[in-house]
Amino acid sequence: MELIDVSDELTFMLRNAAITYAMQVSAEGLLEQLYFGASIAAPQSPSCPLRHCTVMFEDSPALTLNELPQEYPTHGRGDFGSPAFHAVGADNSVFSFLYKSYRVEDGKPTLDGMPSSRGNGAKTLIVTLADAVQQVEVDLHYTIWPDHAVIARRVEIRNVGTEPISLRHVHSSALDLAPGHYDLQHFHGTWAREFNAERLSLTTARFTIESMRGTSSNAHNPYLAVMESGASETNGNCLGTTLVYSGNFAISAERGEFGRVRLLAGLNPFDFNWGLEPGEIFATPEVLHAFSGEGLGGLSHVWHDFVRAHVSPERFRNIPRPTYLNTWEAAYFDVNEDKVLDLADVATGIGVEMLVLDDGWFKGRTDDRRALGDWTADPDRFPMGIPALAEKVRAKGLKFGLWFEPEMVSPDSDLYRAHPDWAISVPGRTPSLGRNQMTLDFSKPEVVDHTYGQLDAILSSGQVGYVKWDMNRNMTEVGSGAKAHRYMLGLYGLLDRLMTAYPDILFETCASGGNRFDLGMLGYMAQGWVSDMCDPIGRLAIINGASHLFPTDVMAAYIGPSPNHQNGRMSSIWARFLAGVVCAARGVSLNGSDIAAHDDALTKHVRFCKATARHMLGARFDRLCHDDNETIWQQTSHDGGIVYVVAFQTLNAPNLPVRRARLRGLDPDVNYAVEGGAVYGGDRLMQHGIALTIPTEDFAAELLILQKVS
């Protein structure tokens, strides 16, 4: 089967065993969308019935753009839906793109300046459309892989005229779905309450998730699923859309008056005004569309396999993550060399492999009101510097990790006093502070260069094996959506330089938890801090929601204090451990006395994490149950040999029924042995299930481990 086939009549088919994406050039030169879904041999051309009171396209008596599914629709020519493209030219804002040419390339052209999925084994179709009046050309990029039910899309806009134009709407993808009954699923939240799943019916209206915060945001993660109204976790056609981008975005689903649904994804058009001079090219971020006919769970498996194979950094794909002790909830800002070395001894005592020095280590940083931007060790608390401290930690048999917040600056800092113009602000207005800090203007190359130099001065010592990259505020006073995008280009340029210079350092993305947990950042960094919420019950919905798109390979979790510092809840060390047990990166953030009080349990948990570290990479994750009072997850190792079933109960109640978990994805013809218990056939475990013995208490958790035996 050819991945891309083009007929003499200019019908374009992108197809593998799982999906088909099809389009064609009409007699008028319009690029019509035909189909996206399960793999089929040949799609049907769209029909546009004649209707009263409709606007016909140019002099075509039987063609109205308001019902014709188009690959890159514009406004002003009879399509009254939301446009994928809108700009202002020298005289007007009416654009109309007609087919010009196409080409097919092996692999995937590089997207300069922004992250994108890797094209290993892929093929890419590039269709060029042109507006001869406005003298603008558009290259529509479509990439398909042989073994993934995913299509990557992006757009390049080229000004081939003699006058500048102003880009306003430049979405990366437009996808029209046939009339039908659809549900939407998106993930909303806020700090410490990220990734709350919400499902709703799509009515005849426009539904949009977006960010205007300078980050992809915890308010609306840049992910939207569209599904048949009857779809479930295991059945039904589902389509997922996300961006490989970390800034202002918009994804919308609009149901028109005749039932057709238009799905748009790309840069947020609000306040976006990008001047494109003659000869210049503007490239949009990459959008990914995934399809599954096996429900939301099947869609998750498509995403997980794809993210691991084509988005996450290859260097760490099969590298078990080190267990660690983080100093944050052990000491907060009150850190010095002696305390860190004492914690290193505590870390070795419970068997973790890495010590992470969090916030508070740099010059003058005794609270969150000062010193961001001055990335040199505090001379009073770390007189020998960070590389020397790291060397002492490493001498104890531990790896050394370090926290940075490189995109921020405190007004009370040497950097701000020297360069107040390097912070994003508006002349004449008092800047808005978030966590007592401002955002550095990464749209300025000199700011990016300075930041790189500061980090390079520490990382070049070779003593740091892990970096936690934080960002603790949304952007304000940016001035325009175009500047926000230039900021992202500056950030991505910095990350690319760092990853090139330090390919063996494990980077973790964090933005007050999940405020920028997206495939853009995870294209550079192998793992992310999904939320600051460390209470086990509070974290269940977060991991459960995030798992719809992200594999647990990219998630980090640690055992935090009880009472929890975010919501005050008391919970057992066992529940706190199990809430993050499926994540690839697992650790501890407790003070010395708390660790001493739970020394035996923590030692046992760390030993378990080290023994199972490889099982958490490439694993199949299934959401067996998630409601207000119960959550059950299944994690199956990549080779299918080990199955972990984790069950949680929020509140206990009298006379509860016996709970059973029906497992998924097992081999029906072999047996599985429960650790310390009975042996069951795979068919029985999937059809009849296995009984759970969750303790009869509030905030309870239980773990079952099954091993394939025959």
Strands 700-708 and 642-649: antiparallel
In this structure, are residues 309 and 119 in contact, taking their beta carbons and an 8 Å threshold?
no
CB 521 within 8 A of CB 530: no
Total length of the chain: 710
- The partner residues of 240 in beta bridges, in order of sequence, read 225, 290
Which residue among 79, 359, 441, 532 is the active-site one?
A: 532
- Number of Cβ atoms within 10 Å of the Cβ of 604: 15
Q: Which of 491, 469, 477 has the alpha carbon at shortest distance from 434?
A: 477
Burial of 55 (0-12, 13-18, 19+ CB in 10 A): exposed
**121's tokens:** 């084994």
Q: CA–CA distance from 371 to each of 364, 367, 368, 406, 474 (Å)? A: 6, 9, 8, 11, 19
The answer to whether 694 touches 635, Cβ cutoff 8 Å, is no
Q: Which of 359, 374, 441, 470 is catalytic?
A: 470
Q: How far apart are CA 198 and CA 221, in angstroms?
A: 12
- Confirm whether 8 is a catalytic residue: no
SS3 140: strand
3-state secondary structure 599-626: HHHHHHHHHHHHHHHHHHCCCEEEEEEE
Task: Report the C-alpha dihedral over residues 301, 302, 305, 306, rounded to 10 degrees.
Answer: -150
Q: Round to whole Å and give the CA distance between 196 and 525.
A: 24
Phi then psi dihedrals of residue 601, to 5 deg: -65, -45
Structure tokens at 412: 């009370």
Contact 425, 382 (CB under 8 A): no
What secondary structure letter does DSSP report for 111?
A: -
Which DSSP letter does residue 285 get?
A: P
Burial of 587 (0-12, 13-18, 19+ CB in 10 A): buried
Task: Name the DSSP letter for residue 417.
Answer: H
Q: In angstroms, rounded to a whole number, what is the distance separating the alpha carbons of residues 55 and 23?
A: 23
The three-state (H, E, C) secondary structure of 638-705, written as one string: CCCCEEEEEEEECCCCCCCCCCEECCCCCCCCCEEEECCCCEEEHHHHHHCCEECCCCCCCCEEEEEE
What Rg, from alpha-carbon coordinates, does the chain have? Answer: 26
Active-site residue, 470 included: yes
Tokens of 62: 């039987």
- What residues act catalytically? 470, 532
